[in-house]
A and B are shown apart, each in its own frame.
Chain A
Amino acid sequence: EAAVTQSPRNKVAVTGGKVTLSCNQTNNHNNMYWYRQDTGHGLRLIHYSYGAGSTEKGDIPDGYKASRPSQENFSLILELATPSQTSVYFCASGEGDWGNYAEQFFGPGTRLTVL
Chain B
Amino acid sequence: GDSVTQTEGLVTLTKGLPVMLNCTYQTTYSPFLFWYVQHLNEAPKLLLKSSTDNKRTEHQGFYATLHKSSSSFHLQKSSVQLSDSALYFCALRRDTNAYKVIFGKGTHLHVLP
**A residues at B contact (CB < 8 Å):** 4, 31, 40-45, 48, 50, 58, 90, 96-98, 101-104, 106-109
Q: From the candidates B32, B42, B44, B49, name the one contacting A43 in the complex (CB within 8 A).
A: B44
**B residues at A contact (CB < 8 Å):** 9, 32, 34, 42-46, 49, 51, 89, 93, 98-106
A residues less than 8 Å from B103 (CB atoms): 42-44
Shortest CB-to-CB span from B70 to chain A, Å, is 21
A residues less than 8 Å from B46 (CB atoms): 103-104
Shortest CB-to-CB span from A97 to chain B, Å, is 6
A101 engages B49 (CB within 8 Å): yes
**Chain A: which residue is nearest B101 at the CB level?**
A102
CA distance in complex: A67, B106 (Å): 29
A42 engages B106 (CB within 8 Å): yes
16 new A-B contacts at CB < 8 Å, known A43-B103, A96-B99, A103-B46:
A42-B89, A42-B105, A44-B103, A45-B100, A45-B101, A45-B102, A48-B100, A58-B100, A90-B43, A96-B98, A101-B49, A101-B93, A103-B49, A106-B44, A108-B42, A109-B43
CA distance in complex: A43, B101 (Å): 10
Q: Total number of A-B contacts with CB less than 8 angstroms?
A: 51
CA distance in complex: A102, B49 (Å): 10
CA distance in complex: A90, B36 (Å): 14
**Chain B: which residue is nearest A6 at the CB level?**
B43
B residues less than 8 Å from A96 (CB atoms): 98-99
**Chain B: which residue is nearest A42 at the CB level?**
B105
B93 engages A106 (CB within 8 Å): no
Q: From the candidates A102, A107, A108, name the one contacting B98 in the complex (CB within 8 A).
A: A102
**19 A-B Cβ contacts within 8 A?**
A41-B105, A43-B44, A43-B103, A44-B103, A45-B100, A45-B101, A58-B100, A96-B98, A96-B99, A97-B98, A98-B98, A101-B34, A102-B93, A102-B100, A103-B49, A107-B43, A108-B42, A108-B43, A109-B43
